[in-house]
Amino acid sequence: MTQSMVTSAIPFDRGRADVVDALLDTYRPDLFHRSGRIREALHDKGVHFLSITVVRGDGTEPTHLVLEISADGGPDDAYAAVAANLEAWITPILHTARITLRGPLQDFLAGHRVRTGQGLLQVAGLDFCGTPGLSVARIKQEWDLARKLRDVLDASPPDVRALDTFYRARRIVAEDPDLKPLLRPEPLERIAAAETSGLDAAYIVGLVLTGLATFLWPVLALLALLLAAATVAAWTSHGATVGALTLVVGLGVALAVVVGGLVALYLALRRKEAANRPVDGLPDPDLMAAIADSENLKDTQQNHLAGISVMQPGLLRELTLRIAFWAIGRMITDRRFRPGFLSDIGTIHYARWLRLPGTNKLLFFSNYGGSWESYLEDFITKASAGLTGAWSNTLGFPRTENLFFKGATDGDRFKRWARRQQQPTRFWYSAYPHLTTARIRTNAAIRQGLGRVSTEDEAAAWLGLFGSKVRPDSLIETFEVQTLLYGGLSRHRFAACLALRLPEEAASARAWLASIAPRITFGDQPPRDKVLIAALSASGLRRLGLPKDTYDAFPAGFRAGMDSPGRATILADTGDDAARHWLWGGPSTTVDAVLLLYADTEATRDAEAASLAAAIAETGGAVIHRVDPGPLPASEGDAVKAVREPFGFVDGVSQPIVRGTRRWLRQSDAIHTVEPGEFLLGYPDGRGYFPPSPTVPAALDHGELLPLADPAQSRGALIPDFGVSRREAARDFGRNGTFLVIRQLAQDVAAFDAYLETAARDHAGHPAIPAQLDPALLPEWIGAKMVGRWKDGSSLVRFPHGPATRRHAPDRFRPDNGFLYGAEDPLGERCPLGAHIRRTNPRESLAPDSKSELGIVNRHRILRVGRAYGPAGSGDPGERKPGLLFMCLNADIERQFEFIQQTWAYALQFHGLENEVDPIIGRGGKTGRLTVPSPRGPLNLTGIKDFVRMRGGAYLFMPSRSALHFLTRLD
Render pLDDT for 64-105 as a digit per residue (tens, 0 to 9): 999 999 999 999 999 999 999 999 999 999 999 999 998 999
Helical packing angle, 136-155 and 162-174, nearest 10°: 120
802-838 pLDDT, tens digit each: 998 877 666 566 788 889 998 899 999 999 999 999 9
Cα(685)–Cα(893) distance, integer angstroms: 14
**pLDDT for the residue 144:** 93
Lowest mean pLDDT segment, chosen from 357-366, 553-562, 639-648: 639-648
Helix (H) or strand (E) holding 207: helix 201-215
pTM, two decimal places: 0.85
940 to 71, 154, 461, 523, 838: CA distances (angstroms): 36, 6, 17, 48, 17
How is 435-489 classified by DSSP, letter by letter?
--HHHHHHHHHHHHHHHH--SHHHHHHHHHTTT-----TTS--GGGSBGGGG---
- Which one has a higher pLDDT value, 359 or 689? 359
Lowest mean pLDDT segment, chosen from 339-343, 368-372, 910-914: 339-343
Cα(302)–Cα(429) distance, integer angstroms: 11
Please answer whether residues 371 and 389 qualify as being in contact, where contact means their C-beta atoms are separated by less than 8 angstroms.
no
pLDDT level of residue 197 (50, 70, 90 thresholds): low
Mean pLDDT of 494-514: 97
Name which of 568, 41, 540 is nearest 293 in CA terms: 568
SS3 for 51?
strand
pLDDT level of residue 858 (50, 70, 90 thresholds): confident
Cα(346)–Cα(438) distance, integer angstroms: 7
Residues of the chain within CATH 3.30.70 domain(s) are 1-114
661-672 pLDDT, tens digit each: 877 767 666 788
**How many alpha carbons fall within 13 Å on the CB side of residue 728?**
6
Cα(177)–Cα(14) distance, integer angstroms: 54
**pLDDT for the residue 722:** 33
Cα(159)–Cα(767) distance, integer angstroms: 8
Cα(120)–Cα(318) distance, integer angstroms: 10
Pairing assessment for the beta strands 530-536 and 422-423 based on DSSP bridges: unpaired
pLDDT level of residue 457 (50, 70, 90 thresholds): low
Please answer whether residues 744 and 953 qualify as being in contact, where contact means their C-beta atoms are separated by less than 8 angstroms.
yes
State in Å, rounded, how far the first CA of the chain is from the last one: 68
**pLDDT for the residue 769:** 92
Cα(584)–Cα(954) distance, integer angstroms: 8
Please answer whether residues 9 and 83 qualify as being in contact, where contact means their C-beta atoms are separated by less than 8 angstroms.
no
pLDDT level of residue 247 (50, 70, 90 thresholds): confident
Residue 560 clears pLDDT 90, i.e. is over it: yes
Please enumerate in sequence order all residues whose Cβ is within 8 A of that of 63, keeping only pairs 6 or more positions apart, or say none. Answer: 11, 12, 13, 14, 16, 17, 54, 55, 56, 57
Region 1-114: CATH code = 3.30.70
Buried b / exposed e across 770-807, counting CB within 10 Å, b at 16+?
A: eeeeeeebbbbbbbbbbbbbbbbbbbbbebbebbbbee
Name which of 448, 445, 397 is nearest 421 in CA terms: 397
**pLDDT for the residue 809:** 60
658-700 pLDDT, tens digit each: 887 877 767 666 788 888 999 999 998 888 888 889 999 988 9
Cα(536)–Cα(553) distance, integer angstroms: 15
Lowest mean pLDDT segment, chosen from 80-94, 124-138, 915-929: 915-929
Residue 223 clears pLDDT 80, i.e. is over it: no
277-302 pLDDT, tens digit each: 888 888 888 889 989 888 888 878 99
Mean pLDDT of 171-181: 90
